[in-house]
Amino acid sequence: MSGIVEGRVVIVTGAARGIGRGHALEFARQGAKVVVNDLGAEVDGTGSSDAAAAVVAEIEALGGEAIVNGEDVSDFDGADRLIQAAVERFGDLHVLVNNAGILRDRMLVNMTAEEWDAVIKVHLRGTFAPLRHAAAYWRARSKAGEEVDARIINTTSSSGIYGNPGQGNYGAAKAGIAGLTVIAAKELERYGVTVNAVAPAALTRMTENLVPKGTRATGSTGADPDDIAPLVVWLASAEARGVTGRVFNVRSGMISVAEGWHAGPAVDKGSRWDPAELGAVIPALVEKAAPNALTSGQIPGREA
């Protein structure tokens, strides 16, 4: 096989189904050697299966190279073993795609501590731990004088960067991932590593309950999980060397750059405020500011 990531060694977490499976297969089609990491769990993180092995079999049927890895990415030592497995099997590591995740949706007034902790652990810790160990690997190579051209692509969500009721745990984790992406990009650029994130919209096991009845059967969602992979694979390529610290919205053929928090309307008194003064100040600032984006990412009143 030959393609845009020919010869690159790639880890994709949560790669047994849905968006992650699409990533793994497209990386293989484009010439990469792939570590298919997955616990094989259900949407809520329970249970297990051999779905990752089926993805490896698909890749091998395409003429590609891949291995199964069953490490828990939220386990710090397990994440280290994941990185080492790629290096030991394929001799190097060039790309880490953090995609693994679960859902425990609940309104805040009903959410349990366990439901909060489980989602934060898999998404946020499960992004940090592999990222940390991959970064250490690449930093060591860079300090040894080797040329590094590596990529980290994280997975955030519109629930995190724009907000979605009923997903406080998931959204908080995904917002954290977006913030971590920006910080990691600044820290790792000196070592030849870019860090970006994608906020995908696609119909998967994790999102099928959010889609109106009937749309899945008709295909009217326009959100095939395989449609996310082309952007992720491009971000992993040599062509993307100059792109870092960005979050991309992607749905079907639509790609946009998410513009993060930035300072809006302001007033500076030049000294400490008295709380009683702020009633004449804060409402006016809020009135001038753009409203928060909708879950779609669009500013109300400015929808395309």
Residue 174 a catalytic site member: yes
The DSSP output letter for 134 is H
Length of the chain equals 304
Choose, from 121, 158, 170, 237, the residue flagged as catalytic: 170
> What sign results for the dihedral spanned by CA atoms 199, 13, 242, 233?
negative
Q: CA torsion, points 224, 226, 230, 232, in degrees to nearest 10?
A: 100
Residue 170 a catalytic site member: yes
Longest dimension (CA), the chain: 71
Choose, from 33, 121, 174, 237, the residue flagged as catalytic: 174
Look at residues 276, 9, 277, 13 and name the one whose alpha carbon lies nearest to residue 141: 9
Residue 157 a catalytic site member: yes
Burial of 47: CB neighbours in 10 Å, binned 0-12, 13-18, 19+: exposed
* Alpha carbon distances (Å) from 133 to 68, 104, 175, 257, 288: 19, 27, 21, 28, 44
> What sign results for the dihedral spanned by CA atoms 38, 43, 47, 48?
negative
Choose, from 74, 157, 158, 159, the residue flagged as catalytic: 157
Annotated catalytic residues are 157, 170, 174
